[in-house]
Structure 1
Amino acid sequence: MWADALTKFGNAAGAIVVFVAVLLLIFFAAGRATGRISKPLAVGIFLGPAVLLLLIGLVVPAVRTIYLSFFNDDSSHFLGGKNYGWAFTASDIHQVLLNTLLWIVVAPVAATALGLVLALLVDRLKRQALYKSLIFMPMAISFVGASIIWKFVYNYRESSQPQIGLLSQICIWLGWRNPPNWILSHPLNNFLLMVIMVWVQTGFAMVVLSAAIKAIPDEITEAAVLDGARGWRLFQHVTIPMIRNTLVVVLTTVMITTLKLFDIIRTMTGGNFGTQVLANEMYSQSFVQFNVGRGSALAVILFVAVLPLVGYNIVQLRRERATR
């Protein structure tokens, strides 16, 4: 046992030593190069590994997924666009697309709005760093961990039995004698699952928006106050316009995260009870039903849906940098 462990450790250590030696040799060769070849060689050495990893980890899998999306379940027969036709015409997929649309509209707006409210409130408190840390803390938890936490909150038992679920117990305390099984109640269960996403992402929205609000020049705020702007008018006509770009970036970032939603659905319901979304359906088609063609088609649809949000986010970030 110990001999096998030492052998594996020696092999790993030897591989690391060889890797470091190769890097040192390459850097030594680049440092000794002179003339016209020195700059292209340096660029190739530093960018080459990144480009290679990008090709292996992103470009090649993306091309392969697009290719497989035009074939049947075992990739033995070419189907053309039939998998995409199935994705947009099958009745069971309509519910999946509707749930996904509901998620990317409700959850990002709720998380961004709540983050903005908390940013405004916490910035007026003493020891704001402490409160921000507590609100931001869910961001340190994985979606799987957050789902397990909220699984206890939504846990259901008969009202005659001791309650484990916090939500059911609160409802009983308030006089609701027979609260429902929250996760089985459709469409309420979709909104209850969105609460998990909002709980995790609100801290991110609060921190970014708080920084944007603090970056507003004092001269602008003071001039608006002298002109009679107070409270809501100051917020509506000064704060919001000044942080509009940051607000859009936060909203689209949370939208991208929500569109790729998988962990919460997989952990809480497995896509059952009317809670299925696009990313989890892609996983189910590919690795549960072993239909690689349909799973690849859903992956391509998800990829295409994310692209406009990513592009818009990049444009907004560049505009914000330009204004600075």
Structure 2
Amino acid sequence: MLDQVLNALLTVVIGVGVCVLYFWGANWVLDRLLGSDEQTSANDGLRTKIRPWIFLFPALFFLSLYLIYPVFATMWLSLNGASGENFVGLANFIWAIQDGNFLQSVYNNLLWLIIVPIGATVFGLIVAVMADRLWWGNIAKSLIFMPMAISFVGASVIWKFVYDYRSGESEQIGILNAIVNGLGMEPQVWLQIPFWNNVFLMVILIWIQTGFAMVILSAALRGIPEETLEAARIDGANDLQIFFSIMIPQIFGTIIVVWTTITIVVLKVFDIVLAMTNGQWDTQVLANLMFDWLTRGVDFGRSSTIALVIMIAVLPIMIWNIREVNKEEGTR
């Protein structure tokens, strides 16, 4: 434990030292090339234009190295065969639209896209509204936000104990089956029930993302002018009318941003499916299918093709989300 702490501290010190050395050295070189401030002011304009790019260069370099280059490399690999060397053109894309597992994954992803963002946003909004009316509301918010601190794999392990099934006369240790057994009904293998097993997996992500939605929407609700709510109450509006006619319209932009943000998370969902079912029993999703072809099928072409499909699906939502955030910030 002590070694890990010391290694972490050493990493921080070295990282900060390298950054300081880079910026000091870059400015020193710039001043030597263009003349220091004491010597001349003729190149001040040029120096002012170059200096921001010196600060931005590391970020741009690593962004290009780890984001832009992989995108083009993935595009090229999607046009090649399993080894990533022999050119096959659009054969991988033709395979994708004809493959049953790929189409099943697309169908499951669509289910996730419909159920999870709506479920997490609705529950987050309900909690945000109700918690503000309770004296222990902040405690409730903290408990609901807590799953956000858990990794997807950790959350999956927790929910494995909820859905656990023991065959024969073995005692049921899964919470859900223990309840069912206590009510005199037969325990079920929940993760093997067609269609519903996907829903049971979605519950995990809803459980995690509800805290995120709650925090963002709670902040938006606090931004509604109190005078507007008081005026509605004076006019005789009840709580439901205030909620649907005043609160929802005023925070609708924030609701859409929360919904689209969770949608992007859903499109990339991988950990939960891998840890819970590994895509068995018709629970496969695109990210997990990509991982299967990359590690088990060892087919760089097909895995890259699936990665491109995910990227194409995420990109429009991400662009639209960024525009909405910028638009909302511009109106403030």
TM-score (norm 1): 0.91
Q: Which residue of 2 aligns with 1:124?
A: 133
**In the aligned structure 1, how far is the partner of 2:15 from the partner of 2:254?**
45
Matched, 1:280 2:301: no
**In the aligned structure 2, how far is the partner of 1:159 from the partner of 1:136?**
38
**In the aligned structure 1, how far is the partner of 2:10 from the partner of 2:183?**
63
Deviation at 1:120, TM superposition (A): 0.9
What do residues 231-272 of structure 1 show as CA deviations (whole Å, max 9, x unaligned)? 211111101100100000000001100110000011111111
Aligned identity (percent) is: 41
Q: Which residue of 2 aligns with 1:195?
A: 203
Q: Which runs of 5+ in 2 are unaligned?
A: 1-8, 38-42
**In the aligned structure 1, how far is the partner of 2:12 from the partner of 2:224?**
52
Q: Which residue of 2 aligns with 1:184?
A: 192
Residue pair 1:72, 1:291 contacting (<8 A) in 2 also: yes
Deviation at 1:91, TM superposition (A): 2.0
Task: Go from structure 1 to structure 2 and tell me whether the alpha carbon gap of 1:12 and 1:249 turns closer, same or farther (over 3 Å shift).
Answer: closer
**In the aligned structure 2, how far is the partner of 1:126 from the partner of 1:232?**
21
Matched, 1:93 2:98: no
Task: Go from structure 1 to structure 2 and tell me whether the alpha carbon gap of 1:320 and 1:164 turns closer, same or farther (over 3 Å shift).
Answer: same
AA aligned to 2:144 is: I
AA aligned to 1:132 is: K
**In the aligned structure 1, how far is the partner of 2:120 from the partner of 2:216?**
12
Residue pair 2:101, 2:284 contacting (<8 A) in 1 also: no
Deviation at 1:216, TM superposition (A): 0.3
Q: Which residue of 1 aligns with 2:64?
A: 55
Deviation at 1:319, TM superposition (A): 2.2
Deviation at 1:86, TM superposition (A): 1.5
AA aligned to 1:310 is: M
Q: Which residue of 2 aligns with 1:4?
A: none
Tell me which of 231, 234, 238 is aligned to 1:226.
Answer: 234
Task: Go from structure 1 to structure 2 and tell me whether the alpha carbon gap of 1:222 and 1:23 turns closer, same or farther (over 3 Å shift).
Answer: same
Tell me which of 55, 62, 65 is aligned to 1:46.
Answer: 55
**In the aligned structure 2, how far is the partner of 1:138 from the partner of 1:12?**
28
Residue pair 2:77, 2:300 contacting (<8 A) in 1 also: yes
AA aligned to 1:66 is: M
What do residues 203-253 of structure 1 show as CA deviations (whole Å, max 9, x unaligned)? 011111111111101121122222222121111110110010000000000
Residue pair 1:71, 1:80 contacting (<8 A) in 2 also: yes
AA aligned to 2:297 is: Q
Deviation at 1:315, TM superposition (A): 1.8
Deviation at 1:82, TM superposition (A): 1.6
AA aligned to 2:27 is: F
**In the aligned structure 2, how far is the partner of 1:11 from the partner of 1:197?**
33
Q: Which residue of 1 aligns with 2:224?
A: 216
Residue pair 2:147, 2:155 contacting (<8 A) in 1 also: yes
**In the aligned structure 2, how far is the partner of 1:240 from the partner of 1:263?**
33
How many residues are paired up?
315
Residue pair 1:150, 1:196 contacting (<8 A) in 2 also: yes
AA aligned to 1:277 is: V
More displaced stretch, 15-24 vs 58-67: 15-24
Residue pair 1:159, 1:179 contacting (<8 A) in 2 also: no
Deviation at 1:15, TM superposition (A): 9.1
AA aligned to 1:21 is: L
User: Residue 273 of structure 2: SS of its match in structure 1?
Assistant: helix
Residue pair 1:209, 1:246 contacting (<8 A) in 2 also: yes
Matched, 1:27 2:18: no
Q: Which residue of 2 aligns with 1:5?
A: none
Residue pair 1:212, 1:243 contacting (<8 A) in 2 also: yes
Task: Go from structure 1 to structure 2 and tell me whether the alpha carbon gap of 1:143 and 1:15 turns closer, same or farther (over 3 Å shift).
Answer: closer
- How do 1:297-312 and structure 2 match up within 5 A? 297-312=305-320
Task: Go from structure 1 to structure 2 and tell me whether the alpha carbon gap of 1:243 and 1:18 turns closer, same or farther (over 3 Å shift).
Answer: closer
AA aligned to 1:181 is: V
Q: Which residue of 2 aligns with 1:152?
A: 161
- How do 1:238-317 and structure 2 match up within 5 A? 238-317=246-325
Q: Which runs of 5+ in 1 are unaligned?
A: 1-8
Task: Go from structure 1 to structure 2 and tell me whether the alpha carbon gap of 1:15 and 1:157 turns closer, same or farther (over 3 Å shift).
Answer: closer
Residue pair 2:23, 2:55 contacting (<8 A) in 1 also: no
**In the aligned structure 2, how far is the partner of 1:17 from the partner of 1:242?**
47
Residue pair 2:294, 2:303 contacting (<8 A) in 1 also: yes
TM-score (norm 2): 0.89
User: Residue 99 of structure 1: SS of its match in structure 2?
Assistant: helix
Task: Go from structure 1 to structure 2 and tell me whether the alpha carbon gap of 1:139 and 1:19 turns closer, same or farther (over 3 Å shift).
Answer: closer
